[in-house]
Amino acid sequence: MRIIIVGGGVVGSSLAEYLLRDGHHVVMVEQDSRLCEQLGEKHDMQILQGSGSSPRILWDAGIEETELIIAVTPNNELNILVCGIASQHNVPQRIARLRGREYRKDNPHFDIEKAGVTDVIHPEKVMVDHILQYIETPHAVESANFEDGRVLLRGYRVRDNMVLAGKTTSEVRAEIAPAVVLFAAIARKGKGIIPDGKTRFEAGDIVYALFPRESIETFLKLVGIEKKKNRKVIVSGDSYALMELSRALKDTSNKVVVVDPHLEQAQKIAGMFDGIEVIHGDCTDNDLLRELNVHAASFFVSVSGETDYNMLSALLAKAEGAHEVIVTSPESRHDRLFKSIGLDHVINPRKTAAREILEFVSRGHIGAVVELKDIDIEAIRFNVKPESEIAGLKIKSVGRKLQKGSIVGMIIREDSVILPEGETMVEAGDHLIVITHHKNVKGVAKLIRPRSLFSKG
């Protein structure tokens, strides 16, 4: 597939990496000469320096033959204009990253599709969804959702007192049947393992599991987490993301406290959402944290637009006894450092946006891609087309065709989630979640997608 990406920042660069690896022909358009140079050193693709709002630049990028354009610059208006130009050239799929509720598809006063945009990514909403995943499953070290939240992937560090510690995957699956939980991968001493039925869980392992939402309580019991209501969640910040997170948390069973250093926004949030305690204050103030009884908080979340504020307030909250802290930061260079000083989760809104955009890219063939931290294993969702080589085959036959170190972990068929066995038949229309090593991704994609579609356009 021929794809143009407009915007070569973290989002655009992350997208280019995945799409190039999947065999697509990618052209990048970026105005900043320094970024163009960095992208050229990192990726083997055509890079054009210039504005995506220029019809000439887009023509030079090959817009006439392009099947997908993705506009991910920081500028809403520019992203919409890029899609509008692409629409005039009959590009079938046009994705824009847009900030603000006014650009949502349900806005009765503005039809975003008439402006040329077929799909919209809202970075704040995506980031909020990711934060909610950690709140829903406390103490997870990795989190991702597939199929609009119907299938969950979670990573947990194994402790001696957990139900699954010292047991094999087969033993645990037998104990929890008929609940569906797939143990997809294990990180052990820096190495990634795709477990079989005889693999035994050891203390210190990080175990990654896939399961349908209906199995969430069963899984949490396995990892020693009691599903509680009325957890105390303190949220701080001064950004649009704070408003979106407050909106999302108001419908949960948690006790939510919002702290905003700006009086006007604090008053606005208090007037919009019932059932949320709103305080005007600064969470880098230790005295305020003590007044909030932060030691009783299950979560402290800081989503300010300032990384320094987020880091400092979260560290102070942790020092005062907050059980788990979550911060947002657009910087990815210091993730390991942030974790080493006591921050439980550092969420990069640009990377979460890139992951979400992959849900739209080649929607009929490949979906979400989740790289498991610090090991060379990925969980990837593929959609099976009628023309696919594996449509109509049994899982045992598919397994023989897959490269070693790859498994079909789960099948989503309409409203059913299936943990496949050897005799399970793969049907056209199925969504497969495949667990594989990095080096195998392209080969797995080539096997599953229709042969006529595996080309560079």
CB neighbour list of residue 64: distance below 8 Å, 6 or more residues apart: 89
Pairing of strands 431-437, 407-413: antiparallel
pLDDT computed for residue 358 by the predictor: 76
Facing residues of 186 across strands?
Answer: 193, 207
| Residue of 212, 201, 204, 200 whose CA lies nearest to 154 | 212
What is the distance between the alpha carbons of residues 301 and 258, in angstroms, rounded to a whole number?
A: 10
Mean pLDDT by groups of 10 residues along the chain of 457 residues: 92 88 89 94 94 96 95 95 96 92 81 92 90 94 84 93 94 90 90 90 94 93 86 90 91 92 92 92 96 96 92 95 93 69 87 78 50 76 87 92 84 87 92 86 76 32
Q: Report all structural domains of the chain as residue ranges with CATH numbers, in order of start.
A: 2-121 (3.40.50.720), 127-222 (3.30.70.1450), 232-352 (3.40.50.720), 355-453 (3.30.70.1450)
Distances from the Cα of 123 to the Cα of 116, 137, 300, 404, 446, angstroms: 19, 22, 21, 36, 31
Between CA 216 and CA 224, with CA 221 as vertex, the angle to 5 degrees is: 125
Facing residues of 434 across strands?
Answer: 380, 408
Facing residues of 95 across strands?
Answer: 70, 119
Label residue 50 exposed, middle or buried (CB < 10 Å: 0-12, 13-18, 19+). middle
- Per residue, the 3-state secondary structure of the chain, as one string, reads CEEEEECCCHHHHHHHHHHHHCCCEEEEEECCHHHHHHHHHHCCCEEEECCCCCHHHHHHCCHHHCCEEEECCCCHHHHHHHHHHHHHCCCCEEEEECCCHHHCCCCCCCCCCCCCCCEEECHHHHHHHHHHHHHHCCCCCEEEEEHHHCEEEEEEECCCCCCCCCCEHHHHHHHHCCCCCEEEEEEECCEEECCCCCCECCCCCEEEEEEEHHHHHHHHHHCCCCCCCCCEEEEECCCHHHHHHHHHHCCCCCEEEEEECCHHHHHHHHHHCCCCEEEECCCCCHHHHHHCCHHHCCEEEECCCCHHHHHHHHHHHHHCCCCCEEEECCCCCCHHHHHHCCCCEEECHHHHHHHHHHHHCCCCCEEEEEECCCCCEEEEEEECCCCCCCCCCEHHHHHHHCCCCCEEEEEEECCEEECCCCCCECCCCCEEEEEEEHHHHHHHHHHHCCHHHCCCC
Facing residues of 152 across strands?
Answer: 145, 211
pLDDT computed for residue 332 by the predictor: 66
Token pair of 3 as six digits? 């794809």
pLDDT computed for residue 397 by the predictor: 93
pLDDT computed for residue 260 by the predictor: 95
| Residue of 86, 118, 100 whose CA lies nearest to 5 | 86
pLDDT computed for residue 362 by the predictor: 47
Pairing of strands 325-328, 345-347: parallel
What is the distance between the alpha carbons of residues 325 and 338, in angstroms, rounded to a whole number?
A: 11
